[in-house]
């Protein structure tokens, strides 16, 4: 074990030809990278980034809800994240009478701030390498089943010990490098989080699906919340007696501006990356899985848009749902295109051939490449069945609702429109019937299709004056039972073996790199744990004769403004502010900056992450990546991969000039 840990320490600290911009680094390990970070322009220390002995940058960063990041911007618990991260809360408070999605929302006093049951924020207390403790008692001849039992037992002890005596703490032990290393993460969770402000969607979601994942971007993607606590500053259930949380650390705001070449750091909770994926898995993603999933979601989006354009109430109901469907839909398109354009499959195959030669005569690694190919080949068809199970059969709303026991009926029907669901049933089930081989379809599906004669007639029976919940539950049960009993066991068994291979393959790649002086620095794949990435503000060249500069402005918003198109119809007040050049202190070069791009390596989950300058001050809020670089979850290309961030000055401008909520600015420490 000591030898393995030494290996990880070496590859984390080693000098390499890997671009400095690539990588998602554990904050507790940042000392091993600090010299390189400082060489890029960073002016603080490793302990300023992460410390358990004093307040540090980590203490101003939270995991927001289930899949975003947020950051504290005042000593009174004020928090900023993306508009799309707070979208569900904004929507839940909206109605036709009070359409906060359309009109925005701003609490002008603490009493007007809106509670959000179910929303929480989590602060990382500390992280710790617990590899030795997790593997305590492990013997090399132990079966994999016994190893898993041992790890589960040891993990439970570690987590229980970490939170003992403190009900406000949550602990998770997470594997890194496919189970070659284990870290403990301990969080303090606050559950009283209130909505303070949000711009109208015409700003917060400006450009809609058309601009999503694209550059140049002109989206004011932010919302404001406040964390509340008990009088002792500890987590407490919602109560009118609660008081604003007093953080250990909050970010000062740099409103002086940024320029190309400036240092940037992103500090957040990236969700999932797969940088060490085998070539066959990349090939399936780029050439099979993504194209099919894109086609299925296109069907859903077209149906939703048609009905949403007819009725404002339907638009409100489906605004959040449509955003959720569209986000991955467009990302998959860019990811597939980027992987193919950058020859990801071919490059990985070339490396695997070299690795395979090196592995000969090494029992731990010999034959890995061949076995990977055998296993991935054996489940390719079944993997497509799995994609269709989730993206077609289970994507019909009423079927999922009925199949899961009709939980949350009031909330479900509040945001449900049967004509959309019926049209989706017809489109998705026809696609499943066309693209999945008969041998993988359940007998029930084939019987029902024969009984009704067509998917359309089946839909007529399911969707009468109200949906037939009994039939919906029957569809869910029978199609999912068939999948669970006849498809899933093979997928589970094969993927279990594949995952075991990855543990050996990951370790083998490191040894191969060391033995051949490959010069690669390894970093753990993202897994929704806190990470640091760093880079610089920088434009890029997406195609021949095109260069995108790295900063967009309000002038670009006005250029795109179109009252005839919902996603581009900005508030009249914003037009007036632009016409009179009433920008106040937020003006820069004759306009107001809106967004910027940089070379930080980010992923889903980094939405809402703070973007910091060389002195650790907030300059922006991360919200997206450029479309051409969305393959960065699998392959990072420093020439094309860029993260997109809201320029904090645009948020301040909107709060000040558009919302008239200057009382919020008074809470912040703004550097001018």
* pLDDT at site 15: 32
**What residue numbers bound the domain in which 298 lies?**
279-515
Tell whether 416 is covered by a domain.
Answer: yes
* pLDDT at site 323: 86
**Helix, strand, coil percent values for the chain (each to nearest 5):** 50, 15, 35
Tell whether 615 is covered by a domain.
Answer: no
* pLDDT at site 6: 37
Tell whether 297 is covered by a domain.
Answer: yes
* pLDDT at site 19: 54
Q: CA nearest 222: which of 566, 616, 657, 623?
A: 623
Torsion angle, CA of 206/212/218/224, rounded to 10 degrees? 60
Tell whether 478 is covered by a domain.
Answer: yes
* pLDDT at site 8: 42
Tell whether 303 is covered by a domain.
Answer: yes
How many whole angstroms separate alpha carbon 509 and alpha carbon 502?
10
Residues 254, 43: contact at Cβ < 8 Å? no
* pLDDT at site 663: 97
Question: Per the structure, how many domains does the chain have?
Answer: 1
Tell whether 534 is covered by a domain.
Answer: no
Residues 41, 263: contact at Cβ < 8 Å? yes
Beta-carbon count within 10 A of 516 CB = 12
The catalytically annotated residue of 383, 553, 607, 632 is: 607
* pLDDT at site 20: 57
Residue 187, strand partner residues? 124, 170
pLDDT tens figures, 539-558: 999 989 999 999 999 999 99
The catalytically annotated residue of 84, 218, 292, 417 is: 84
* pLDDT at site 481: 97
Q: Residue 111 to residues 36, 194, 195, 341, 472: CA-CA distances in angstroms?
A: 47, 10, 11, 53, 43
How many whole angstroms separate alpha carbon 137 and alpha carbon 153?
11
Q: Which two tokens stand for residue 82?
A: 């993306």
The reply to whether 607 belongs to the active site is yes
Tell whether 300 is covered by a domain.
Answer: yes
> In the chain, which residues have pLDDT < 50?
1-18
Q: Residue 102 to residues 29, 85, 223, 573, 619: CA-CA distances in angstroms?
A: 44, 16, 14, 14, 27
Residue 68, SS3 per DSSP: strand
Residues 631, 642: contact at Cβ < 8 Å? no
* pLDDT at site 319: 87
Residues 573, 658: contact at Cβ < 8 Å? yes
How many whole angstroms separate alpha carbon 635 and alpha carbon 475?
39
Residues 217, 548: contact at Cβ < 8 Å? no
Evaluate the omega torsion of the peptide bond into residue 447 and state whether it is cis, within 30 degrees of 0.
no
Q: Residue 296 to residues 45, 285, 442, 482: CA-CA distances in angstroms?
A: 48, 15, 20, 21
The catalytically annotated residue of 99, 211, 221, 387 is: 221
The reply to whether 51 belongs to the active site is no
Q: Residue 637 to residues 151, 526, 632: CA-CA distances in angstroms?
A: 36, 17, 7
* pLDDT at site 324: 87
Q: Which DSSP state fits 14?
A: -
* pLDDT at site 566: 84
Tell whether 428 is covered by a domain.
Answer: yes
pTM (predicted TM-score): 0.88
């Amino acid at each position: 074990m000591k030898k393995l840990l030494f290996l990880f320490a070496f590859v984390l600290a080693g000098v390499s030809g890997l671009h400095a911009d690539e990588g998602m680094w554990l904050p507790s390990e940042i000392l091993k990278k600090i010299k390189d970070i400082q060489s890029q322009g960073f002016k603080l220390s490793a302990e300023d980034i992460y410390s358990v002995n004093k307040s540090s940058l980590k203490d101003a960063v939270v995991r927001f809800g289930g899949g975003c990041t947020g950051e504290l911007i005042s000593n009174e618990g004020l928090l900023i994240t993306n508009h799309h991260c707070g979208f569900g809360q904004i929507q839940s408070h909206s109605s036709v009478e009070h359409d906060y999605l359309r009109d925005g929302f701003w609490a002008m006093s603490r009493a007007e701030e809106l509670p959000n049951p179910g929303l929480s924020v989590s602060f990382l207390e500390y992280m710790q390498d617990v590899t030795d403790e997790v593997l305590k008692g492990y013997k090399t001849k132990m079966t994999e089943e016994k190893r898993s039992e041992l790890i589960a037992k040891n993990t439970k002890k570690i987590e229980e010990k970490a939170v003992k005596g403190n009900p406000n703490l949550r602990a998770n032990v997470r594997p890194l490098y496919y189970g070659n290393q284990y870290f403990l993460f301990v969080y303090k969770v606050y559950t009283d989080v209130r909505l303070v402000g949000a711009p109208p969607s015409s700003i917060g979601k400006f450009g809609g699906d058309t601009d999503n994942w694209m550059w140049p971007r002109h989206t004011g993607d932010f919302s404001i919340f406040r964390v509340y606590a008990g009088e002792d500053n500890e987590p407490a259930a919602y109560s009118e007696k609660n008081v604003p949380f007093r953080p250990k650390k909050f970010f000062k705001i740099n409103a002086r501006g940024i320029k190309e070449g400036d240092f940037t750091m992103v500090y957040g909770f990236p969700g999932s990356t797969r940088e060490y994926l085998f070539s066959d898995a990349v090939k399936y993603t780029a050439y099979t899985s993504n194209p099919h999933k894109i086609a299925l979601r296109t069907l859903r989006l077209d149906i939703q848009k048609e009905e949403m354009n007819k009725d404002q109430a339907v638009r409100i109901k489906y605004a959040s749902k449509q955003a959720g469907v569209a986000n991955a839909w467009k990302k998959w398109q860019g990811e597939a295109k980027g992987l193919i354009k950058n020859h990801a499959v071919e490059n990985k195959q070339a490396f695997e051939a070299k690795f395979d030669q090196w592995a000969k005569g090494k029992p731990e690694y010999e034959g890995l490449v061949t076995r990977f190919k055998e296993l991935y080949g054996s489940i390719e068809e079944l993997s497509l069945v799995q994609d269709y199970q989730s993206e077609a059969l289970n994507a019909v709303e009423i079927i999922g609702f009925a199949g899961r026991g009709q939980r949350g009926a009031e909330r479900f029907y509040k945001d449900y429109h049967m004509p959309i669901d019926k049209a989706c049933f017809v489109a998705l089930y026809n696609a499943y019937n066309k693209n999945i081989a008969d041998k993988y379809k359940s007998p029930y599906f084939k019987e029902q299709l024969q009984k009704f004669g067509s998917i359309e007639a089946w839909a007529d029976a399911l969707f009468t004056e109200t949906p037939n919940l009994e039939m919906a539950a029957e569809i869910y049960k029978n199609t999912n039972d068939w999948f669970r009993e006849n498809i899933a066991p093979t997928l589970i068994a094969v993927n279990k073996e594949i995952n075991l291979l990855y543990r050996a393959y990951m370790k083998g790649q490191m040894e191969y790199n060391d033995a051949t002086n490959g010069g690669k620095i390894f970093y753990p794949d993202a897994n929704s744990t806190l990470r640091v990435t760093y880079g610089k503000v920088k434009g890029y060249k997406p195609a021949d004769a095109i260069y995108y500069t790295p900063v967009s402005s309000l002038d670009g918003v006005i250029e795109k403004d179109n009252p005839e198109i919902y996603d581009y119809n900005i508030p009249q007040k914003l037009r007036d502010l632009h016409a009179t050049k009433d920008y106040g202190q937020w003006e820069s070069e004759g306009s107001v900056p809106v967004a910027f791009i940089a070379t930080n390596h980010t992923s889903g989950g980094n939405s809402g992450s703070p973007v910091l300058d060389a002195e650790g001050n907030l300059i922006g809020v991360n919200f997206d990546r450029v479309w051409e670089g969305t393959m960065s979850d699998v392959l990072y290309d420093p020439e094309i991969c860029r993260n997109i961030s809201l320029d904090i000055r645009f948020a301040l401008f909107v709060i000040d000039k558009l919302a008239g909520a200057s009382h919020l600015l008074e809470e912040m420490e703004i550097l001018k």
